[in-house]
Amino acid sequence: MATRTDAPTRREQILKEAARLFAERGFHGVGVDEIGAAVGISGPGLYRHFAGKDAMLAELLVGISGQLLTGAKRRLAEADGGPAGAVLDSLIEGHIDFALDDRPLITLHDRELDRLRDSDRKLVRQLQRQYVELWVEVLREVYPALAEPAARSAVHSVFGLLNSTPHLGRPGSLPGRTATAELLHRMARGAFAAAGGDAAPYG
């Protein structure tokens, strides 16, 4: 992977701050002046970099969905041929990394989708659907007894579990990133196993 050492461009600064603010107070709850102030320029100055407020949200949401899907495809290709369980583990790991590193984006992802123009929304939904289907296929390889509708529900539910990171308190009240990632991973596996039919008795 190529690590960038150059300074972030102004566009990137804006997107990052906009994501944070949108996640904190919602798309409608944030004014362009605020976004501008967060990067040290005035509200209307943003229009040199984006067509409008909507455009920022669109770029963020399309970017998120695309990034998730691309990462998943890569992991699938890398681990192909290996045991299906390992592929599922890899998918889980990737999603957790994203959820822990980009909490604001995770929040936006299922909160502000409706605010998009039709075409953008369709694109995002399509990317999301592909991402889900990819998980469903891997999951059903691991648990062949699982019917497709149940598998899809299970995948959505595990996304809910993994995307709970924004509710986990600020990073500091957490037992450390590694421990949190491991806990989430174990829980996701446990949830899938239970959905797949394995007994999960108490005690």
Partner DNA sequence: GAAATGCGTTAACGCTCATTAACAAAGGTG
Partner DNA sequence: CACCTTTGTTAATGAGCGTTAACGCATTTC
Out of a second copy, DNA, none, which partner does residue 43 contact, by CB within 5 to 8 A per kind?
Answer: DNA
List the one residue from 8, 52, 171, 176 that touches DNA (CB under 7 A). 52
Q: What is the dihedral of CA 42, 46, 47, 51, to 10 degrees?
A: -150
Out of a second copy, DNA, none, which partner does residue 10 contact, by CB within 5 to 8 A per kind?
Answer: DNA
- The residue count for binding a second copy (CB under 8 A) is 53
Which tokens is 92 given? 């889980």
Interface with a second copy, residue 67, by CB under 8 A: no
Interface with DNA, residue 49, by CB under 7 A: yes
List the one residue from 28, 74, 117, 122 that touches a second copy (CB under 8 A). 28
Applying CB under 8 A, which part among 1-9, 10-18, 49-57, 161-169 lies near a second copy? 161-169
List the one residue from 12, 47, 74, 197 that touches DNA (CB under 7 A). 47
Least distance CB 33 / a second copy (angstroms)? 16
* Cβ contacts of 143-152, under 8 Å, gap ≥ 24: 143/192, 143/193, 143/195, 143/196, 143/197, 145/196, 145/197, 146/195, 146/196, 146/197, 150/195, 151/195
Sign of CA dihedral 8, 103, 128, 91: positive
Binding site for DNA (CB under 7 A): 10, 28, 30-33, 36, 40-45, 47-49, 52-54
